[in-house]
Amino acid sequence: MRERLTVLGIEEMDGIHRQELEMLDALLEAIDNETDETRVTLKFEALLEDMRRHFEYEESLMRGKGFGMYNIHKSDHDKMLSEVRYLLGEWRSRRDRARIKEYFEYEFAFWLPQHIAAMDTVLAEFLRGL
């Protein structure tokens, strides 16, 4: 997926995206190889928390700079956070590795590059224009 991510040219945003991919890779590795489900849970929780901070950072930038597409961008964040929170609850109750692996490898792997290309690129262009 890394090769499909749009580089925004704003180091902090690009760095956040790289970090998130590293955390996603660590979670997928744990799903495949970790026998201790607690460690899978910890990596899942860490990724969710990183996503929350990532989105909070971007939303703070948008509010602070008066970005006109704030509501659209934020609603995309909210939708993804809701899905991942639900999936974490599902993981905690069912421990279905195949389910979370499929979600992150397909749905999230499709969403993240699309979000960066469609939403974050517009934000980065706006920020560079200030």
Q: Domains in the chain, ordered, with CATH?
A: 8-128 (1.20.120.50)
pLDDT for 1: 66
pLDDT at 4 over 90: no
How does pLDDT run across 80-112, given as a tens digit for each residue?
999 999 999 999 999 999 999 999 999 999 999
Neighbours of 100 (CB within 10 A): 22
- Across the chain, mean pLDDT equals 96
Helix locations, 7-66, DSSP H: 11-33, 37-65
How does pLDDT run across 107-126, given as a tens digit for each residue?
999 999 999 999 999 999 99
Mean pLDDT of 61-87: 98
